[in-house]
A and B are shown apart, each in its own frame.
Chain A
Amino acid sequence: MRVRPCCLGLEFWATGSTGFGFYTSCSIRAIMDYSTSFIFLTLPVAALAGFLGALLGIGGGVILIPFLVLFMGVPIQYAIAAGMVAVIATSTGSAIGYVRGGVTNLKLSMFLEAGTVAGALIGAMLAASLPANVLEMLFALVLLLCAYSMFSMMGRFRKAENDKLAQHFELHSHYIDAENGRTEYGVTNSVHGLLGSVVAGCAACLFGIGGGVIKVPLMNNVMRVPIKVAAATSNFMIGVTAATGAIVFMRMGYVVPEIVAPVALGVMIGSLSGSRVSKKLKPDALRKLFVILLIYVGIKMALKGAGVDLGI
């Protein structure tokens, strides 16, 4: 595989089996091989992606992967694998507080993870076998869907009682916050939830993103879990889904330490500072700006998949 040099002059030569698996050694030869320029370009952008992600409550992957593909010339499979590892860092980092505060529903997370891990395996296999331009087109679709879901507001929340399956798995729980005190809630439509998680896990590994865009509305609107719990639980689940995907990608050789290190570290730093700021900020204006950015990047990615370069 020989990949065209891109606008920043970075080139990849990958020969045969690449990256590091559990048994294979790294044989991807990037001329930037830990070059300072790649590190210093990627680190701040990854940090910005993580920062925005934490601010808007979405993973940084949606911003990061297009950047790696469109501007750094990283082949999309490698970018997805790097995103997958970075997602573990952000979701784990931001999940800590919610787990400690008892907002995360650990039982619900384990119940739905049974679906996401299955989806993760399917998604990772698809990511490795689909041609790059199909992946780029599909990724563009996800970006545009993201833009849509950020644009449209979620429906008014109504609490529900446990359904049969939820009762069997004791998915109901409660959480305590300053605003409402103790809030009890039940979980309904658990079969839909489980099936939806398979899709979410598949999408996560196919695109190297957390998949919160699917899981949060799924839990909140379909399973009628309070939004705070849905966001915290989704975040917590992402770690397991992403680790499964990362294992598959590692074994396939798409996890290249030289790419992953600056990406993961940058996203880590960014999401830490982002979650600090987000408590003091109302990010409505930012949200609108971000929707425009998503649409722009989505169209650019779709055109790249179709073999058209706009040059802007």
Chain B
Amino acid sequence: MRTREQLEHGISLVMAFGVGISGLLLALSLVYGAMGMAGGKQLAVVGILFLVSTPIVRVFMCLHHFTLQKDWRYIALTVWVLLAMALGIVVGATG
């Protein structure tokens, strides 16, 4: 992921994968739910977690890219974005 093109390619693959998997899981969970079978909710939870982690993974990929480029301004920005996301867990706990 040294070049911009490689990063773009990598990110688009990760996004397609994340949305695809979570779509499948959510669809499966609805089928389970509609048929009254157990485990539908758990499938939905995993699907949702997949969906939420997709953007997080791609921020990490950007971090990797900027680290390879030794682009300190963007390393700092990316670390702040990740930190703010982590802060979300803390903020949510107090609300």
Contacts and interface: CB of A to CB of B under 8 A. Distances in A.
Contact of A246 (B18, B45, B52): B52
Contacts of B89: 22, 247-248, 251
Contacts of A43: 30
A252 B73 contact: no
* Contact size range, B: 35 or more
A257 interface: yes
Nearest to B51: A88
A112 to B, nearest CB: 10
A34 B84 contact: no
Interface stretch (A2-10, A102-110, A152-160, A275-283): A102-110
B56 interface: yes
Contact of A21 (B34, B51, B92): B92
Given A239-B55, A265-B30, A26 B93 contact: no
A99 B74 contact: no
Interface string A159-172: 00000000011000
A96 B12 contact: yes
Contact of A124 (B40, B44, B53, B92): B92
A36 interface: yes
> What DSSP secondary structure best describes chain B's contact surface?
helix
A85 B51 contact: yes
A240 interface: yes
B78 A110 contact: yes
A257 B41 contact: yes
Contact of B54 (A114, A239, A264): A239
A257 B77 contact: no
A67 interface: no
Interface in B13-60: 15-16, 18-19, 22-23, 26-27, 29-30, 33-34, 36, 40-41, 44-45, 47-48, 51-56, 58-59
Interface of B: 4-5, 7-9, 11-12, 15-16, 18-19, 22-23, 26-27, 29-30, 33-34, 36, 40-41, 44-45, 47-48, 51-56, 58-59, 62, 73-74, 77-78, 80-81, 84-85, 87-89, 91-93, 95
Given A106-B4, A117-B85, 17 more contacts: A26-B41, A85-B52, A88-B51, A89-B23, A97-B12, A102-B5, A107-B74, A121-B88, A124-B91, A124-B92, A169-B77, A240-B58, A243-B85, A255-B48, A264-B22, A264-B47, A268-B19
What are the 8 A-B residue pairs with the smallest beta carbon separation, nearest first?
A: A251-B92, A34-B33, A239-B55, A257-B44, A117-B84, A247-B88, A261-B44, A248-B92
26 contacts: A36-B33, A43-B30, A92-B55, A96-B15, A100-B9, A100-B12, A106-B62, A107-B74, A110-B77, A117-B80, A121-B84, A121-B91, A124-B92, A125-B91, A240-B55, A240-B81, A242-B55, A243-B54, A243-B56, A246-B48, A247-B85, A248-B92, A251-B88, A261-B33, A262-B30, A264-B51
